[in-house]
Structure 1
């Protein structure tokens, strides 16, 4: 099974890239979906969060109050690391479990959409790392126009993540998305025909 780790940053266009390959029928594991699964009521992940941050991060119905938790961790790096450490093992185990399921049915290609692909060292288990790249001014402008953020808010969110320029050295393929949506689609068409179709055409 050919494993592709897809990484990027906020407003880089990673979701657009993933959607392109999803529409081509390529299966994927979305770490954000996994992160939601592991904090559903009754899970060990949710218990770990409550043990660490207190029951006031729960809604009345026992589900996680994401806004309350976000308010605690967003501007506090120490608390954010604490949250990551609460969930890291549960997320990792679930992703490895899903990987085994895909391997058991001879899936030819699997894309991993993991925000902390580099930071969490997931890249070490990938066959290739693909980086959706934009420069910082473009990232800031898109974030401001898309989300209505002020310049300061946009930069705060960009700076809370690993810089895209620092991710470049980890990437086997850099998908430059500084141009138009049409230019991005043209690049993805080429990647599809040159890199992925040959894998799909091999006898499994």
Structure 2
């Protein structure tokens, strides 16, 4: 079984590559979804987050309100570090269990889609790292069109991330998403063919 860690900056096409790999038969673990599930009331992570940040981060149903929590941590590097110190190791444990469960099912290809794969220290969970890349202009255009962000908002989000040059130093594969969706699909299919012999399952 091959485990790919798929990462990349905002607007570079991670989700699109993940979707193509899923269509080719890969099992995809979405780290963002794992994070959402971890915020369910009365889980170990939920209790730790509420202990540190208080009930002000809870929504009406008792779940952690990501917007409220985000408003605190995005403006306070210490608060962000405290949250990451809770989330990253515990999420790694959940992801590891899921990978091992899929290994037990005889799955050929697993993709861990995680924007913060490198920052979270999850490289040890995967066999190789794939990084998606697009030009700055393309990222700007996609985010303004898709997310309705202003040019200034796009720049501040991009600048807050690990630069591509640094991210690519951790990668075994760079997926170039600078053309059409059809070109991206062909590139991903060729990579899949070279790694696991094409369609998997």
Q: TM-score, normalised by structure 2?
A: 0.92
Counterpart check, 1:197 vs 2:197: yes
Deviations 1:61-87 (A, max 9, x none): 211112211111223322222211122
- 2:118–2:167 CA contact under 8 A, matched in 1: yes
Is 2:191 the partner of 1:177? Answer: no
Cα deviation, residue 161, structure 1 = 1.6
In the TM superposition, residue 20 of structure 1 has moved relative to its aligned partner by: 0.6
- 3-state DSSP of counterpart to 1:79: helix
Q: Which runs of 5+ in 2 are unaligned?
A: none
**Is 1:71 aligned to 2:87, yes or no?**
no
Query: What's 1:152 paired with?
Result: 152
Structure 1 stretches of 4+ moved >6 Å: none
Q: CA deviation at 1:14?
A: 0.4
- Structure-2 separation of matches of 1:152 and 1:78: 25
Say which SS state the counterpart of residue 170 (structure 1) adopts.
coil
- Looking at structure 2, the residues matched to 105 and 189 of structure 1 have their Cα atoms a distance apart, in angstroms, of 23
Deviation at 1:33, TM superposition (A): 1.0
Q: Give the SS at the match of 1:194.
A: helix
Displacement of 1:199 after TM fit? 8.8
The 8 Å contact of residues 193 and 199 in structure 2, kept in 1 or not, is answered as: no
Q: Deviations over 1:143-182 (max 9, x none)?
A: 1221111111111111222112211111111111122222
Find the aligned partners of 2:169 and 2:145 in 1 and give their Cα distance: 29
- For 1:134 and 1:191, how far apart are their aligned partners in 2? 17
8 Å CA contact 1:134–1:164 kept in 2: the answer is no
Shift, 1:133, TM fit: 0.7
**Residue 104 of structure 1, CA deviation:** 1.6
What is the rounded CA distance, in whole Å, between the counterparts of 1:76 and 1:70 in structure 2? 10
Structure 1, gaps ≥5 residues long:
none
> Judging changes above 3 Å, is the alpha-carbon distance between structure 1 residues 42 and 50 closer, same or farther for their aligned structure 2 residues?
same
1:8-157 equivalences under 5 Å are 8-157=8-157
Q: Residues of 2 paired with 1:6 and 1:20: CA distance? A: 12
Alpha carbons 2:57, 2:69 under 8 Å: kept: yes
Distance across 2 between alignment mates of 1:93 and 1:55: 25
Q: TM-score, normalised by structure 1?
A: 0.90
**What's the secondary structure of 1:49's corresponding residue?**
helix
